[in-house]
Amino acid sequence: MSHCVQPCPCGYYGDSQKPCTCAPAVVTKYQKRI
């Protein structure tokens, strides 16, 4: 079983088809937790 790690809470950071709705500070904080 493989697990995907989302780069942010909404899961769309870096997605070319749907924009990320997270604030930049939220993304940074989330990525530091991983």
Domain ranges, residue 9 = 1-34
pLDDT of res. 1: 47
- Render the burial of 5-17: b for 16+ CB within 10 Å, e for the rest: eebbebebbeeee
pLDDT at 3: 56
Residue found under tokens 């904080």: 29
Q: What is the pTM of this model?
A: 0.69
Q: What is the pLDDT of residues 1-34, one digit of tens each?
A: 455 788 999 999 999 999 999 999 999 999 998 7
Number of domains the chain is built from: 1
pLDDT at res. 22: 98
